[in-house]
Structure 1
Amino acid sequence: MKKTLFLLLAFCIVGLAQAQQQILPPMVNVNGVGEVRVQPDQVILTMGVEVREKTLEQARKQADSKAAAIIAYLKKQGVSEKDIQTSYMSIYPIYNSGEYGKATPDFYTAQKTMTVLVKKLNKFDDLMSGLYGAGVNRVDGVAFQVADIEKYKTQARKLAVTNAKQKAIVLTNELGAKVGRVYAINENTTGGRPMPMYAEAAMMKTMDSAGGEGPTIAGGEVIITSNVSISFVIEN
């Protein structure tokens, strides 16, 4: 009997707690947006070498030699070793003749791709010209980014929160009420990812820079956006 009474009492307490949890205060729910536009100050360059030779060993040695020359050039230009990464490499046979079942390839193609973080945009054109001279014959991608991205994300969040609070104040004032404490908040900040530039366009523009004037790349802007959803308690 005591056990039954104890269980009933426990169920009543749980039910009362659940009922209290379901009673929410009057609230105003608003969304806020904050946007920060920043000029990029870094470039992620993806480039490499591609060679063709009669034998596998010749192709490998040629690709390795050119890659070593490129890395040496980058270091000479002040690019830190930690900002240079070999991101892809391959070597494979090519069969050009139509002879079915041919065992010996016509030649071998070897590729080495490197990803480089360039921190001096004003030196980009000169750096690229030197890279072509060092052996680069493929540019796979050019992307712009911001170094201190977290600082701008914080700014975007603050703007988003301010925007949300202003909306809440306008809405409650129209009803003769006031904005109270914050009941709940959700946030999502995006942007700041590298902005890609077509590799072919980047390569051609830089190769033609000797006959032109001014820089051959334009970084534009990196856009950082924060979205917040905030619930404020309404006070009379």
Structure 2
Amino acid sequence: MKKTLLAVCFGGATLLSPLAMAEDSFPRLETIGVGEVTAQPDMAMFTVAVEETRKSAQEAKQAVDKAVTAFMDRLQKSGVKRADIESANIYLHPQYHRSNDNPPELVGYQATRQVTVMVRELDKLNTYLDNALGDGINHIQNIELKVSDAEKYQEQARQAAIKDAQSKAKSLAKGFDTDIEGVWNIRYFDSMPRPVMARMAMDASIETKATYQDAEITFRDRVEVVFRLEK
């Protein structure tokens, strides 16, 4: 894990926020603190789908149901809890053959079902994806990498942002031969880490494991603080 603190400096009238200027005048200083923490993912959520086309709607449904059932059974036998598996409803679409001279001709039905899986042991992700292929799943729609203790890293980023705001305020006050008397106002906006999406083909090789195991998730936070200066 590594931390990076980013400094933001203001010039002229931008040091005074509109909220601060609306109150009785007194010496003040406004800073923005930004904290950043990176962590390696240890979980993942992936969504796969099976899509089949058959002459009848019933045949198409049976084909996708068979693949989804086999995949879900294999996941549970591998230790994945049922609560970590979500199977979406089936979607059926009629398929038509169209030509310029004739009306559309119904040629079959396309059925689609999705399965979303929460993987709590990242080193097993590649195995689950290989199993999906073997069970008839024919689409990997997305893989989102996650961190199990995300709240801990977000709190570290928040504390880094607070220290950043304090450090800049102390530095600026010292540069202008004054001292900070206390905090007058704090503004805070919730920050959420951006999801890390991994790309993988259905025939992914062993070497592909490193592409998500070596990835990093960045947690950022920000705080705006108005400090009261000594008169």
TM-score using structure 2 length: 0.83
| Structure 2 residue runs without a partner (length 5+) | 1-21
Q: Which residue of 1 aligns with 2:201?
A: 203
Does the residue aligned with 1:106 lie in a helix, a strand or coil? strand
Deviation track 1:96-125 (CA, whole Å, cap 9, x = no partner) reads 2426334x5111110001111111111112
Moved more, 155-164 or 77-86: 77-86
Q: Which residue of 2 aligns with 1:224?
A: 219
Alignment of 1:36-75 (within 5 A): 36-75=37-76
| Structure 1 residue runs without a partner (length 5+) | 1-20
- Partners of 2:211 and 2:75 lie apart in 1 by 19
Does the residue aligned with 1:171 lie in a helix, a strand or coil? helix
Q: Which residue of 1 aligns with 2:92?
A: 91
- Partners of 2:88 and 2:102 lie apart in 1 by 35
Q: Which residue of 1 aligns with 2:11?
A: none
Does the residue aligned with 2:225 lie in a helix, a strand or coil? strand
Instruction: Give the share of equivalent positions with the same residue, in percent.
Output: 28
Match status 1:215 vs 2:209: yes
Structure 1 residue 190: Cα displacement: 2.6
Deviation track 1:194-220 (CA, whole Å, cap 9, x = no partner) reads 21123xxx024xx142xx557253241
Match status 1:178 vs 2:179: yes
Asked whether the equivalents of residues 67 and 136 of structure 2 are also in contact (C-alpha less than 8 Å), the reply is yes
Q: Which residue of 1 aligns with 2:35?
A: 34
Does the residue aligned with 1:95 lie in a helix, a strand or coil? strand
Asked whether the equivalents of residues 34 and 163 of structure 1 are also in contact (C-alpha less than 8 Å), the reply is yes
Structure 1 residue 42: Cα displacement: 1.0
Asked whether the equivalents of residues 71 and 131 of structure 2 are also in contact (C-alpha less than 8 Å), the reply is no
CA 1:190–1:97 in 2, change beyond 3 Å: closer, same or farther? same
**Which amino acid is 1:218 matched to?**
Y
- Partners of 1:168 and 1:97 lie apart in 2 by 70
CA 1:81–1:165 in 2, change beyond 3 Å: closer, same or farther? same
- Partners of 2:26 and 2:130 lie apart in 1 by 65
Does the residue aligned with 2:172 lie in a helix, a strand or coil? helix
Alignment of 1:58-207 (within 5 A): 58-87=59-88, 89-98=90-99, 100-102=102-104, 105-198=106-199, 202-204=200-202, 207=203
- Partners of 1:27 and 1:213 lie apart in 2 by 56
Asked whether the equivalents of residues 50 and 111 of structure 1 are also in contact (C-alpha less than 8 Å), the reply is yes
Does the residue aligned with 1:183 lie in a helix, a strand or coil? strand
CA 1:87–1:196 in 2, change beyond 3 Å: closer, same or farther? farther
Asked whether the equivalents of residues 191 and 222 of structure 1 are also in contact (C-alpha less than 8 Å), the reply is no
Greater share of residues in helix: 1
